[in-house]
């Protein structure tokens, strides 16, 4: 899942650094992620994984890293199966 999210971040986020230079735990905001680009990133992730991220999960921490995004997607997928 991390690789899929990495591809989405690369396509949508408009970071200041190459995605290949980032580890999964690196801070995406420090890499140039803007509050405006988080919207496009969220929509792209929702579309790719066919999920809807609940409003209460949409915080700065959600977009902090590729790993944080992957954890959130996994949680939403798990909760939607219950």
Which domains are present in the chain? 2-80 (1.10.1200.10)
What span, in angstroms and rounded, lies between the C-alpha atoms of 82 and 71?
17
CA–CA separation, 42 and 45 (whole Å):
5
The one-digit pLDDT tens for each residue of the chain (82 residues) are 999 999 999 999 999 999 999 999 999 999 999 999 999 999 999 999 999 999 999 999 999 999 999 999 999 999 887 5
Q: What is the largest CA-CA distance in the chain?
A: 39
**In this structure, how many other beta carbons lie within 10 angstroms of the beta carbon of residue 17?**
12
């Amino acid at each position: 899942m991390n690789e899929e999210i990495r591809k989405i971040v690369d396509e949508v986020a408009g970071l200041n650094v190459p995605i290949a230079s980032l580890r999964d735990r690196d801070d995406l905001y420090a890499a140039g992620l803007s509050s405006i680009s988080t919207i496009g990133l969220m929509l792209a992730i929702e579309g790719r994984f066919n999920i809807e991220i609940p409003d209460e999960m949409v915080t700065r921490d959600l977009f902090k890293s590729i790993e944080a995004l992957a954890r959130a997607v996994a949680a939403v997928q798990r909760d939607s199966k219950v």
